[in-house]
């Protein structure tokens, strides 16, 4: 009986741990997507607005 | 070095003078402390013994809240008219500017604490004046800790959006060890039955906190003030 | 290069983790005093140790930024801090569940859990304030300052909660002494490495994002200047 | 000896370079008008000279001292966008405080003299808060001249001033030049700057593209400098369109 409860909490524990790591990874992935999108948007904007900047920088 | 100290004192005097003139943060802080003190008596229904047991904790919660209101203004006071630029551009070293601000905040918070001790003794019937000397030492050590870290974070957050909200978020976690020690030793003072050795250990911790953060802040503040 | 390193670290970490999980759950016998639940230490303690490692890396990176003003160090500091905070969360969650099982309460103000919680609060402040600072150089400088202040507080927190008059629960040296039976030692050490590898991989990913973010910021200024 | 010697100064904000190797040499006793469009880096350069900001790369010496050092701060006067006086202190209190910070020998005396100079003696005990806009600006001018600086750094000095303050400032600047002091002022209003300027520097996209004595062409035609030495890229763009 005691062992069953123990096992249940053991399962909870590992699940919680991995869930947190997984949530962090998901956060990273979604943020990465957002950042990449923003980068391409800005790059195209800069190329439209002032192509001459490229060689100056 | 001496030139820096002179500049620090000049800045501290300036801060105290303007604050006593306008009472911007002083009024807010003192009345806030008073209100919280009153509210505490309704928050808990306490007997004599229990009041003593929570007295130190209550007092330092109130005072650390009051302290956040004081230090919030510390560097924010320099924002109108870009006065901070003039201070930083002046020959006074950055650490002196910071030290002056911390000293001013220290005396302002001590003043608020002294004011709120009266209603505290009155409402809760605690004879704090019996141990006034020791209490003053604890107050001085803890208040310096609050104001030196508070003034440092005031400088850090001075140009930040939502400065008033960001400062407490940074300040209170850092103050946790300081407040734990101060609360314990203050409760021991009032109730007179401190755990043996706890007062000395707490005072050592308070002093250690003060020394460490004063040194860190004085050393690092130049990076914060000179962009 | 960076991408390759990320993959290698990530895959290595995951493989090692799967192997280790097999050892932990299938090969090891139950511990006498605690039964099955003791197995939680193979994630709980490595998370704590690695959280401290990553926060220490963040401290070093913060000091390096102030000394060198190179934004690589700032990016490393924030990446390592985020991973460290994530590991602190793992540590606290698993510890809380373990405490519920052993002591019957979710939170018992156990010494080390308490100091980890306060550590979490310290660095949450860092992560909250950081995005509020608009100018990158200022953001990096202020962040470094906060990081140094936060790390300096950790030993003080540990001292404060051990003051003789502070009433934290002293649950006895369930995991306090650190003398682990030789049988349990290999999976424990591997467990530390697993989280180190995974944490390093995540830090690299985050590091790359931070670099891209700076690029975005400079493009914005570029547009502004045109 | 040079009053300002800035060698290839770079200043990054994040990854964005606000200054890209700006080099500037100014003789002692000169009055330099630092011209440039908004965002060209004028304020950034002046803040670095004033010791409010550190360059990412490059060497700067002011009057033979490195910028930001105690000695250079003591000999430099700075007037930025804000007026830099405290609203809740009186005119005298303000100047005495800054006199102490600047290391002036007798702050009270220097403060009285400076107030006399800008015509605020009558209201010396009034709070700056109660002053009119123009009076506050004159107080700011008095603050910048309090310690008789050998190098004056002025960021857009004429933009926010009223007529009387401009007159006071111009008198003081002329007096400072006679004393042998050096002036560096940023501005995008060429006409006002040219009245005093002996030298001109043009800052474009973080670089000094022209630096030299003020000439007749500039006086006659304010746009001439921008057209001749201004951003070639911008010129190309307008030619295309």
pLDDT tens for chain D, residues 1 to 241: 788 889 999 998 877 888 999 999 999 989 998 988 888 889 999 999 999 998 988 989 998 888 888 888 889 999 988 889 999 999 999 999 999 999 888 899 999 999 998 889 999 899 999 998 889 989 998 999 898 899 999 998 887 778 888 888 888 888 899 989 999 998 876 777 777 888 888 888 888 888 888 777 777 676 777 777 765 544 433 333 3
What is the predicted pLDDT for the residue at B138? 95
D85 min Cα distance to partner chain B (Å): 6
D12 within 8 A of D29, measured Cβ to Cβ: no
Give me the residue spans of the domains in chain B: 2-225
Q: What averages of pLDDT result for each successive group of 10 residues across chain A (57 residues)?
A: 77 91 94 92 79 45
What is the predicted pLDDT for the residue at D240? 32
- Looking at every residue in chain C, the average pLDDT score rounds to 86
User: Using one digit for the tens of pLDDT, what is the confidence trace for C78-103?
Assistant: 999 999 999 999 999 999 998 888 88
Interface of C with D in 2-61 (CB under 8 A): none
Query: C184 falls in which pLDDT band (50, 70, 90)?
Result: confident
Give B196's DSSP letter.
T
What is the predicted pLDDT for the residue at C50? 95
Residue C172 in this model has a pLDDT that exceeds 80: no
What is the predicted pLDDT for the residue at D45? 93
Query: B2 falls in which pLDDT band (50, 70, 90)?
Result: confident
What is the predicted pLDDT for the residue at D93? 94
What is the predicted pLDDT for the residue at A2? 64
Q: What is the rounded average pLDDT of the residues C151-175?
A: 76
3-state per-residue secondary structure call for chain D: CEEEEEEEEEEEECCEEEEEEEEEEEECCCEEEEECCCCCCHHHHHHHHCCCCCCCEEEEEECCEECCCHHHHHHEEEECCCCCCCCCCEHHHHHHHHHHHHCCCCHHHHHHHHHHHHCCHHHCCCEHHHCCHHHHHHHHHHHHHCCCCCEEEEECCCCCCCHHHHHHHHHHHHHHHHHCCEEEEEECCHHHHHHHCCEEEEEECCEEEEEEECCHHHHHCCHHHHHHHCCHHHHHHHHHC
Residue from A13, A19, A55 whose CB has the most chain C CBs within 10 Å, to mutate:
A13
What is the predicted pLDDT for the residue at B41? 83
Q: Which domains does chain D have, with CATH numbers?
A: 27-55+69-237 (3.40.50.300)
What is the predicted pLDDT for the residue at D238? 37
Are A50 and D237 a contacting pair at CB < 8 A?
yes
- Looking at every residue in chain D, the average pLDDT score rounds to 85
CA dihedral D138, D141, D146, D147 (to 10 degrees): -170
Are C137 and B223 a contacting pair at CB < 8 A?
no
- Cβ of C112: how many Cβ atoms within 10 Å? 17
Are D13 and C69 a contacting pair at CB < 8 A?
no
HSE (CB half, 13 Å, CA atoms) of D180? 4
Of C30, C172, C179, C174, nearest to C98 by C-alpha is C174
Chains B and A touch, contact meaning at least 3 pairs of CB atoms under 8 angstroms apart: no
The residue with tokens 């467990």 is C191
Residue B83 in this model has a pLDDT that exceeds 50: yes
Q: What is the rounded average pLDDT of the residues B200-227?
A: 94
What gap in Å lies between CA C80 and CA C67, rounded to an integer? 18
Q: What is the value of pTM for the model shown? A: 0.90
| Chain B residues with CB-CB distance to D125 below 8 A | none
Taking phi over 0 as left and psi of -120 to 50 as alpha, with beta for the rest, D204 belongs to beta
- Among B121-130, C145-154, D47-56, where is mean pLDDT lowest? B121-130
C138 min Cα distance to partner chain D (Å): 8
What is the predicted pLDDT for the residue at D39? 81
Residue from D17, D232, D233, D240 whose CB has the most chain A CBs within 10 Å, to mutate:
D233
What is the predicted pLDDT for the residue at D237? 37
Are D84 and B80 a contacting pair at CB < 8 A?
no
Strands D31-35 and D199-204: parallel
- Nearest Cα residue in chain A from D204: A56
Q: What is the rounded average pLDDT of the residues C46-72?
A: 94
- Looking at every residue in chain B, the average pLDDT score rounds to 92
**Chain B: residues touching D (Cβ < 8 Å):** 3, 6-7, 10-11, 14, 17-18, 21-22, 80-83, 85-93, 226-227
Beta-bridge mates of residue D10: D20, D57
Are D205 and A50 a contacting pair at CB < 8 A?
no
Q: Does D148 touch chain B (CB under 8 A)?
A: no
């Amino acid at each position: 009986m005691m062992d069953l409860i123990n096992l249940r909490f053991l399962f909870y524990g590992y699940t919680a741990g991995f869930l947190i790591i997984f949530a962090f990874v998901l956060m990273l992935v979604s943020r990465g997507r957002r950042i990449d999108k923003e980068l391409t948007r800005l790059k195209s904007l800069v190329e439209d607005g002032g192509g001459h900047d490229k060689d100056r920088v | 070095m001496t030139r820096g100290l002179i500049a620090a004192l000049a800045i501290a005097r300036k801060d105290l003078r303007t604050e006593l003139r306008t009472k911007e943060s002083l009024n807010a802080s003192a009345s806030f402390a008073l209100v919280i003190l009153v509210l505490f008596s309704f928050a808990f229904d306490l007997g004599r013994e229990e009041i003593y047991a929570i007295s130190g904790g209550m007092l330092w919660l109130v005072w650390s809240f009051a302290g956040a209101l004081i230090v919030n203004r510390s560097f924010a006071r320099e924002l109108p008219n870009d006065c901070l630029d003039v201070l930083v551009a002046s020959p006074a070293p950055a650490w002196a500017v910071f030290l002056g601000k911390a000293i001013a905040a220290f005396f302002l918070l001590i003043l608020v604490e002294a004011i709120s001790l009266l209603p505290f003794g009155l409402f809760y019937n605690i004879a704090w004046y019996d141990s006034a000397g020791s209490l003053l030492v604890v107050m001085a050590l803890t208040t310096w800790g609050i104001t030196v870290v508070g003034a440092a974070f005031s400088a850090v957050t001075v140009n930040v959006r939502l400065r008033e909200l960001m400062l407490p978020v940074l300040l209170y976690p850092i103050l946790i060890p300081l407040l734990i020690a101060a609360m314990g030793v203050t409760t021991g003072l009032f109730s007179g039955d401190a755990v043996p050795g706890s007062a000395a250990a707490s005072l050592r911790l308070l002093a250690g906190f003060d020394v460490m953060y004063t040194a860190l802040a004085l050393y690092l503040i130049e990076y914060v003030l000179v962009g | 290069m960076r991408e390759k390193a990320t993959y290698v670290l990530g895959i290595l970490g995951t493989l090692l983790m799967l192997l280790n999980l097999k050892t932990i759950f299938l090969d090891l016998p139950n511990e006498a005093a605690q039964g099955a639940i003791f197995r939680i230490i193979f994630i709980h303690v490595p998370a704590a140790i690695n959280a401290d490692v990553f926060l220490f890396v963040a401290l070093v990176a913060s000091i390096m930024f102030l000394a060198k003003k190179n934004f690589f160090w700032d990016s490393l500091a924030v990446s390592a801090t985020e991973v460290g905070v994530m590991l602190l969360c793992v540590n606290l969650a698993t510890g809380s569940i373990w405490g519920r099982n052993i002591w019957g309460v979710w939170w018992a103000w156990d010494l080390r859990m308490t100091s980890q919680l306060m550590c979490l609060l310290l660095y949450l402040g860092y992560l909250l304030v950081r995005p509020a600072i608009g100018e990158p150089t200022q953001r990096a400088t202020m962040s470094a300052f906060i990081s140094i202040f936060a790390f300096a507080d950790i030993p003080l927190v540990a001292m404060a909660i051990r003051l003789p008059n502070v009433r934290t629960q002293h649950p006895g040296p369930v995991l306090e002494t650190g003398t682990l039976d030789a049988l349990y030692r290999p999976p424990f050490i591997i467990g530390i490495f697993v989280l180190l590898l995974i944490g390093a991989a995540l830090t690299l990913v985050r590091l790359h994002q931070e670099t891209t973010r700076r690029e975005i910021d400079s493009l914005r200024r570029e547009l502004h200047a045109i | 000896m040079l009053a300002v010697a800035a060698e290839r100064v770079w200043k990054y904000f994040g990854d964005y370079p606000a200054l890209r190797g700006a080099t500037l040499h100014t003789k002692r006793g000169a009055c330099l008008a630092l011209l440039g469009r908004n965002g060209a880096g004028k304020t950034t350069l002046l803040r670095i000279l004033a010791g409010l900001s550190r360059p990412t790369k490059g060497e700067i010496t002011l009057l033979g001292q490195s910028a930001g050092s105690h000695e250079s701060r003591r000999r430099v006067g700075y007037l930025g966008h804000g007026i830099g006086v405290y609203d809740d202190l009186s005119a005298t209190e303000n100047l005495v405080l800054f006199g102490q910070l600047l290391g002036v020998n007798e702050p009270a005396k220097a403060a009285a003299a400076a107030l006399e100079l800008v015509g605020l003696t009558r209201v010396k005990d009034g709070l700056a808060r109660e002053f009119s806009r123009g009076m506050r600006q004159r107080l700011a001018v008095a603050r910048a001249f309090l310690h008789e600086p050998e190098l004056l750094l002025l960021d857009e000095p004429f933009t926010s001033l009223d007529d009387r303050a401009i007159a006071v400032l111009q008198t003081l600047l002329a007096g400072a030049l006679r004393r042998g002091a050096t002036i560096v002022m940023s501005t995008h209003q060429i006409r006002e700057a040219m009245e005093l300027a002996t030298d001109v520097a043009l800052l474009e996209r973080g670089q000094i593209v022209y630096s030299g004595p003020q000439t007749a062409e500039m006086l006659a035609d304010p746009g001439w400098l921008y057209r001749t030495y201004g951003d070639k890229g911008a010129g190309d763009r307008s030619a295309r369109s």
